[in-house]
């Protein structure tokens, strides 16, 4: 999994499966785009105008729970 925040475009991308090509994209709500592989699985999501939609778009905290 890879998370990228581009300050220039104010876009946050969460890539869940880099090994799966995007076959289709759907804007599920204004400014939130889900990318799907050929089998319909979500492989990434993109948040436009991220600084307006996500708290702390320029930093990330990651936790793994047992």
Where are the alpha helices (H) located in the chain, listed in sequence order? 50-53
Residues 6+ apart with CB under 8 A from 53: 31, 32, 47
* Dist CA 55 CA 44 (whole Å): 19
| DSSP secondary structure letter of residue 17 | -
Q: Give residue-wise pLDDT tens across range 6-35.
A: 999 999 999 999 999 999 999 999 999 999
> What pTM was computed for the model?
0.84
Task: Output the 3-class SS for 25-60.
Answer: EEEEECCEEEEECCCCCEEEEEECCHHHHCCCCCCC
Domain ranges of the chain: 2-53
Q: How confident is the model at residue 61 (pLDDT cuts 50, 70, 90)?
A: confident
């Amino acid at each position: 999994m890879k998370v990228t925040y581009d300050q220039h475009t104010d876009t946050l991308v969460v890539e869940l499966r880099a090994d799966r090509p995007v076959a289709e994209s759907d804007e599920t709500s204004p400014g939130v785009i889900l990318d799907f592989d050929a089998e319909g699985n979500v492989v990434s999501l993109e948040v436009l105008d991220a600084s307006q939609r996500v708290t702390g778009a320029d930093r990330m905290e990651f936790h793994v729970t047992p």
